[in-house]
Amino acid sequence: GVMEKLGLGPEVLLRENPRLIYARLTGFGQTGTYAKSAGHDINYLALSGVLSKLGRKDENPYAPINLLADFAGGGVMCALGIVTALYERNRSGKGQIIDASMVEGVAYLSSFLWKSQNLGLWNRPRGENLLDSGAPYYDTYKTSDGKFMAVGAIEPQFYEQLIKGLGLDSDKLPSQLSFSDWPEMKKKFASIFAQKTQAEWCSIFDGTDACVTPVLSFDDVALHQHNKQRSSFIKNDQEEISPRPAPLLSRTPAVPSLKRDPFIGEHTEEILLEYGFTKQEISELCSGKVVEISKPKANL
């Protein structure tokens, strides 16, 4: 209802321009019991059912920062809705309203979890399944220097290379899919990984298909040879590192800005002037707290 209070609701604007695509991104959606309730990523994740699947055995469910509901189920799915509506407008010539709910977005994003329930991937309690830290060959392990290695050797041929790299004999180990042996195998893997540094494990597994990779920190990620070769991370004029825009388009790749991120409200006046607002109108919008203006101050 925020935009309606400003007289800028979708019904008003669509009357002015029937081709307009109006996206509304909220946590719980535009209707329903929780529609006007406050919430955050963890709440939307909880209501979607996905949070119940996240977490280790005998531990509480945990939310992976705020990536799933806010950004994936919210921002990305909303952007996809906008692109879809733009494509549809080419045929109908009409715009429409997009009701992007983060609850529904992250639920739809997790369709794989729903559709694979009868495949045996998720029929055990949380933290005891193939992809949720239950399997010894799909988890992270601490190295002797306090860093970590990520292991994802699901397929038998990859698992065999993992076993070889760890210096074990597969003929003397239980079956890869022996659920009852998973806890003991995790202890064995953990003990072995703890005997070498991350760099030493990289020298063993790099160039193999064991699906073993280093868990890189933000400080290390731009220095890794693979990321350097692809220029996956960039520096701005303040020497701050961030990811390069993705995915990479062959003909019209994004040209990233190497300038520092703007302050909130830094360009408000400039943009409004460009769109024909007078300085008096901008001042009124600012005093009414409709917009925010914040000019950066020189460090003298």
36 domain-assigned? yes
Query: Which of 119, 150, 172 corresponds to the end of one domain?
Result: 119
For residues 106 and 7, membership in a common domain is answered with yes
For residues 88 and 165, membership in a common domain is answered with no
For residues 146 and 84, membership in a common domain is answered with no
Question: How far is CA 144 from each of CA 113, 188, 221, rounded to the nearest angstrom?
Answer: 35, 15, 20
pLDDT in the model for residue 122:
85
Q: Name, in order, each residue with C-beta under 8 angstroms of 108's C-beta and a sequence gap of 6 or more.
A: 73, 77
d(CA 113, CA 119): 10
pLDDT at position 300 over 70: no
101 domain-assigned? yes
Confidence band, pLDDT 50/70/90 cuts, at residue 299: low
For residues 107 and 146, membership in a common domain is answered with no
For residues 143 and 104, membership in a common domain is answered with no
141 sits in which H/E element:
strand 138-142
245 domain-assigned? no
> For residue range 58-112, what is the model confidence (pLDDT) as tens digits?
999 999 999 999 999 999 999 999 999 999 999 999 999 999 999 999 999 999 9
Which ranges constitute the DSSP H helices of the chain? 2-5, 10-16, 41-48, 77-92, 102-109, 111-115, 156-165, 182-193, 198-205, 225-230, 268-274, 279-287
In 3D space, the residue among 202, 247, 245, 194 whose CA is nearest the CA of residue 220 turns out to be 202
CATH number of domain containing 97: 3.40.50.10540
> For residue range 218-252, what is the model confidence (pLDDT) as tens digits?
999 999 999 999 999 999 888 899 999 999 999 99
Q: What percent of the chain has pLDDT over 70?
A: 99
pLDDT at position 164 over 70: yes
CATH number of domain containing 207: 3.30.1540.10
> For residue range 44-64, what is the model confidence (pLDDT) as tens digits?
999 999 999 999 999 999 999
Q: Which two tokens stand for residue 184?
A: 């003991």
75 domain-assigned? yes
pLDDT in the model for residue 2:
83
> For residue range 256-278, what is the model confidence (pLDDT) as tens digits?
888 888 899 999 999 999 999 99
For residues 81 and 145, membership in a common domain is answered with no
127 domain-assigned? no
Query: Which of 119, 151, 180 corresponds to the end of one domain?
Result: 119
Query: Which of 215, 244, 279 corresponds to the end of one domain?
Result: 215
pLDDT at position 3 over 60: yes
For residues 66 and 153, membership in a common domain is answered with no
Confidence band, pLDDT 50/70/90 cuts, at residue 117: confident
> For residue range 186-198, what is the model confidence (pLDDT) as tens digits?
999 999 999 999 9
d(CA 1, CA 9): 8
242 domain-assigned? no
Q: How many domains does the chain have?
A: 3
For residues 31 and 90, membership in a common domain is answered with yes
Residues with a catalytic annotation lie at 40, 70
pLDDT in the model for residue 245:
92
For residues 80 and 159, membership in a common domain is answered with no
Strand partners, 149: 141, 214
pLDDT at position 185 over 60: yes
Range of the domain at 76: 2-119
126 domain-assigned? no
Average pLDDT over residues 17-34: 97
For residues 201 and 288, membership in a common domain is answered with no
Q: What percent of the chain has pLDDT over 90?
A: 87
For residues 113 and 143, membership in a common domain is answered with no
190 domain-assigned? yes
For residues 58 and 102, membership in a common domain is answered with yes
